[in-house]
Amino acid sequence: MNKQKPLQSDLKLAETLAAERRAARERRPSRAEAEEAVRTLIRWTGDDPDREGLAGTPERVARAYEEYFAGYHDDPVEILQRTFEEVEGYDEMVLLRDIRFESHCEHHMAPILGRAHIAYLPDHRVVGISKLARLVQVYAKRLQIQEKMTAQIANTIQQVLQPLGVAVVIEASHQCMTTRGVHKPGAALATSRMLGVFRENPATRREFLAMLRGGATFED
């Protein structure tokens, strides 16, 4: 199988990631400023941030935000840098299913709860499966929309590993529409990003979808 040509989106990915890292290095508000912002929101809701039950809330919220948005401090490309070439000629699909994640939507800062499924067709190099889960976590721990997160994961794998193809499917529930707004609990959004042979070869795509459903098929 011939190695695919670089995709236009991949050529722009390094520049995009560099811009994100530059933005992350810009001055951030201090912890005290963040806590004061929480106090302002509490007053805006109509409550008193100095009452006993809320006195420690600004500090707790700031700590929680450090965990929710820890992905801004990690480099997704660096996570995938260590690869393995001694794979005894293995050249079939690698699929990691059901990677659970928690994220927050950038429109309402409401939780997004879901699962990611990642597959790639190696071209001489593979990466530890924990790195794939870590990649999902890095992008999830940022303000997100699901469509962008799906593309970011696939594009980063394509850029770093340079496999013959990448497939990413994400299924998630968005609390910005289940607990507010239209109030539709139980609704879930599915997004996908197919690159290389997963986009170009229907048989490879069908094999991926069959394995995703739990009915792995192995074709000659």
CA–CA separation, 149 and 88 (whole Å):
33
Two tokens, residue 104: 């927050």
Residue type, 107: H
Residue 122: Cβ-neighbour burial (10 angstroms; 0-12, 13-18, 19+): buried
CB atoms within 10 A of CB 209: 17
Q: Which long-range contacts link 181-186 to residues 24+ away (Cβ below 8 Å)?
A: none
Helix, strand, coil shares of the chain as percentages rounded to 5? Answer: 45, 20, 30
Q: What angle do CA 131, 26, 18 make, to 5 degrees?
A: 45
Active site residues: 105-108, 146, 174, 176
CA–CA separation, 157 and 166 (whole Å):
7
